[in-house]
Amino acid sequence: MIGDGRGTPGRGPAWERAVHRDFVEPVLQDQITALMEAARLHPAALDLDRVGIRGWSFGGWLAALAVLCRPDVFHAGVAGAPPTDWRLYDTHYTERYLGHPDEEPEVYDANSLIGLAGRLERPLLLIHGLADDNVVAAHTLRFSSALVAQGRPHTVLPLSGVTHMTPQEVVAENLLVLQVDFLKANLTDR
């Protein structure tokens, strides 16, 4: 059965602590395991040569991580409001998993997308509300700058006046359409 990945609250302390100091390996591996299990259970329904991934917030971080670290599995990604550098994110959330950034900078480096920018081989759309007060737009801007510095093409969609999650129904619907269109355009002719 496919279920919540390690680190997800509500499954017990050991399950939630499985990501202590390491979001990357267990979280990404659980997504790959779930994908492979879904393909095993429904082989006619999935084309593993055309796998797209999208997410928002932590899921946006995961979507970007997936195309950066496992381009053999994930062929295009959409990352909405991704916390690309955990040093910039809410300390209450981050420090319980990664420790203090001044005491364990290597842990923060290992969980940041910034240092992985040179690995981008797949299409990636970054979306961020410029009025986001949860995951500030600086995350996407810094990551995009790192991608540009590494000569890695990508697409950025800034959303003026939008916070972490848009409350405007029509904007949310159109945003989903844009994401699907991006994935279709980048997965259809593979």
**Segments making up each domain of the chain, as ranges:** 50-187
- What does pTM read for this prediction? 0.93
For the sheet with 76-80, list strands across it. Answer: 52-56, 76-80, 124-129, 155-159
In this structure, which topology does domain 50-187 adopt according to CATH? Rossmann fold (3.40.50)
Q: How many CB atoms lie within 10 A of CB 103?
A: 8
With pLDDT > 70 as the criterion, what percentage of the chain qualifies?
98
User: What does the pLDDT look like over 133-180, one tens digit per residue?
Assistant: 999 999 999 999 999 999 999 999 999 999 999 888 999 999 999 999
Average pLDDT over residues 106-116: 97
Strand partners, 158: 128
Which of the residues are catalytic?
57, 132, 164
Do residues 45 and 180 make contact, with C-beta atoms less than 8 angstroms apart? Answer: no
* CA–CA separation, 146 and 62 (whole Å): 17
The token duo for 96 is: 């319980």
* CA–CA separation, 113 and 79 (whole Å): 12
